[in-house]
Amino acid sequence: MHICLPELYLPEKDVVSLIGRYLKSWTEIPLSPCSGYDKEKLKFYDGFLGTLIRKTEETLRENPQYACDPFVNSWKYQGKLYRVLHACEAKDCRYRDGYRTELPKVDYHGMISHWTDDYRFEGLMYKLSPKEKYIILEADSGEHIGFDVNRFREAFGLQEHFTKGEREIIFPMYKDCIMEHRMTIEEFVQLKETPLTESD
């Protein structure tokens, strides 16, 4: 399969090395607790990793025979994904310090974001609180595809022990396949682990 990257015509080993370098930087991007991603940085990473995901998705739709391609299967992910958004500060003169805390409006910008396939967020709890209220995003990739970071690294011997436990999936912010929950992590885990009744 021709690896779909804009203006790049490189041997697979060089593309793998390039992706590995992008992933190392991407997984270490510091997010602001109030404003999330720096949009210009996000555009940079989306231009490469996002393009790889979208172009591969397009190729698979037009040429289903590539579904068994070893390179694609080294990272392709389809299934459930989860993401947490923190509360942020908003200016409000009614408060002594001039700010109040509120859950942000979700930005469905269509570019890539950090996700995980672990609804318990066990690898991320060092920077989360089980009892704090968040916006928890739950996505079903459906016909879209995501990029499984750990799977790719394992396939090509590019292990990164510091972020492995986060079980990161890179997936765009597609509004049509994302559900918003406003609750604590504890409540969300309980929701996911409570069996559905017939009436549900």
Give the pLDDT confidence score for residue 139 in this predicted structure.
98
What integer pLDDT is reported at residue 34 of this predicted model? Answer: 45
| Residue 99, beta-bridge partner list | 91
What residues contact residue 77 under an 8 Å CB cut-off, 6+ apart?
A: 117, 141, 145, 146, 147, 148, 151, 169, 171
Torsion of the alpha carbons at 34, 36, 39 and 42, rounded to the nearest 10: 170
pLDDT at 90: 66
Question: According to the model, what pLDDT value does residue 110 have?
Answer: 95
In the chain, what are the domain boundaries?
12-193
147's tokens = 């990029």
- Confidence (pLDDT) at 33: 46
Give residue 53's pLDDT: 95
Chunked into runs of 10 residues, the chain (200 residues) has average pLDDT values of 56 86 84 61 92 92 88 95 86 69 90 96 92 96 96 93 92 97 97 73
**Beta strands across the sheet bearing 146-148:** 76-77, 146-148, 168-172, 112-116, 80-85, 133-140, 178-184
pTM: 0.87
Q: What pLDDT does residue 14 have?
A: 85
